[in-house]
């Protein structure tokens, strides 16, 4: 399956190349990309086996602010219902140590990966998809790689935490520095108030300084 056919799935176009697919497709990686593609294929009658290195539900550092995708695309992929309990977000700002740099309207959704990944894997399995957790497979011919880059040493550290009673002027606030970035956004509405997600990427050398 080529790039053109995958894009067509998100646009809701039934491509002629899907019909002759008889052999199961293997996807490496059960995050947003792998599960979304697996759901789109399974819903069109293409058998999929997906390997995920961890298990569900689980926390992830990134991916709790989702933007740039409309309801139609989510519906065509078959995952719109998985975002029903996401919080709608609208505004964003960017700042550095000297103050705010810019602000804009940035429609998006806030939802924990603990919830979203679990919703997606349940949808995938309900469609008959084969899900193998705690399983790592190597890149190979015929394997769709959705597991990101292979693990390698890095000077960067990703951090995340959830907080309440944290004042914000925008739904998403991004703060940059020479040593990385951090962002804060509205995560979800909970019984005791609005919960925020704080996440970022920091170079180890700045933690030691």
Q: Are 98 and 21 in contact (CB under 8 A)?
A: no
pLDDT tens-digit series, residues 115-163: 999 999 999 999 999 999 999 999 888 899 999 876 778 888 888 888 8
pLDDT at 188: 59
Q: What is the pLDDT of residues 59-115, one digit of tens each?
A: 888 778 888 888 899 999 999 999 998 988 899 999 998 999 999 998 889 888 999
pTM across the whole model: 0.80
Separation CA 122–CA 136 (nearest Å): 20
Give me the domains of the chain, ranges plus CATH numbers: 1-64+112-152 (3.50.50.60), 85-111+153-209 (no CATH)
CA 15 from centroid of its chain's CA atoms: 25
Q: Do 47 and 24 contact (CB within 8 A), yes or no?
A: yes
What backbone torsions phi and psi does residue 193 show, to the nearest 5 degrees? 125, -170
pLDDT value for 11? 57
**Cα separations in angstroms, 120 against 63, 193, 206:** 14, 26, 36
DSSP 82: G
Residue with tokens 């409309």: 70
């Amino acid at each position: 399956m080529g790039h053109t056919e995958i894009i067509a799935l998100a646009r809701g176009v039934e491509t002629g190349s899907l019909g002759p697919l008889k052999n199961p497709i293997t996807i490496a990686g059960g995050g947003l990309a792998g599960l979304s593609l697996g759901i789109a294929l399974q819903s069109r009658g293409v058998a999929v086996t997906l390997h995920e290195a961890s298990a569900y539900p689980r926390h992830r550092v990134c991916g709790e602010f989702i933007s740039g995708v409309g309801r139609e695309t989510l519906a065509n992929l078959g995952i719109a219902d998985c975002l029903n309990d996401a919080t709608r977000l609208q505004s964003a700002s960017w700042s550095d140590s000297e103050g705010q740099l810019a602000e804009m309207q940035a429609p998006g959704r806030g939802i924990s990966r603990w919830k979203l990944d679990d919703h997606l894997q349940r949808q995938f399995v309900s469609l008959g998809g084969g899900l193998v957790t705690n399983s790592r497979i190597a890149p190979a011919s015929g394997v769709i790689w959705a597991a990101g880059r292979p693990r390698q040493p890095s000077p960067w550290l990703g951090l995340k935490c959830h907080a309440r009673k944290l004042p914000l002027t925008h739904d998403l606030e991004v703060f940059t520095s020479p040593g990385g970035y951090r962002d804060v956004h509205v995560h979800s509405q909970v019984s005791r108030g609005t919960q925020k997600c704080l996440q970022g990427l920091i170079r180890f050398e700045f933690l030691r300084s």
